[in-house]
Amino acid sequence: MNARAAELIATFALEPHPEGGWYRQVFKSNQRVQRGSEDRSAITAIYFLLADGQKSAWHRVRSDEIWIHLEGSPLTLHIGDETQVLDASSRIAAVAAGVWQAAEIAGDYTLVSCVVGPGFEFADFEMR
């Protein structure tokens, strides 16, 4: 594994994510919102890292999601039938609630933050 990727995994205490890669939740709002009959945190944020050719499996969540490129190789984000590359010049992409998405990298590693609102819950997560 790339030395910087290993350093980030250790520094941020990242754990394996079910969709692939590494993650850790770094923020969960104490503010609560209602979505239908469900009570949710208003917003959540994670660090998410892909290294050494890892891919994020096709998945969707029931909330809007913002991807923010923090460092490393460009990340190709597949959003439905579209593709967007996140890198140092194009750092942010949005994925609407319920839209299938997947991510992959071409280089050694990529660190992103993913912000979800209403907040992410694994019960709202579906993977192909």
In terms of C-beta distances under 8 Å and separation of at least 24 residues, what long-range contacts does 37-41 make, across chains too?
A: 40/118, 40/119, 40/121, 41/118, 41/119
pLDDT recorded at residue 35: 82
Helical segments of 1-128, H only: 3-11
pLDDT in tens, the chain (128 residues): 899 999 999 999 999 999 999 999 999 999 999 888 889 999 999 999 999 989 999 999 999 999 999 999 999 999 999 999 999 889 999 999 999 999 999 899 999 999 999 998 888 889 98
pLDDT recorded at residue 53: 86
Q: Closest Cα partner for 77 from 45, 110, 108, 116?
A: 110
Enumerate domains of the chain plus CATH numbers: 3-127 (2.60.120.10)
Distance CA 123, CA 120 (A): 9
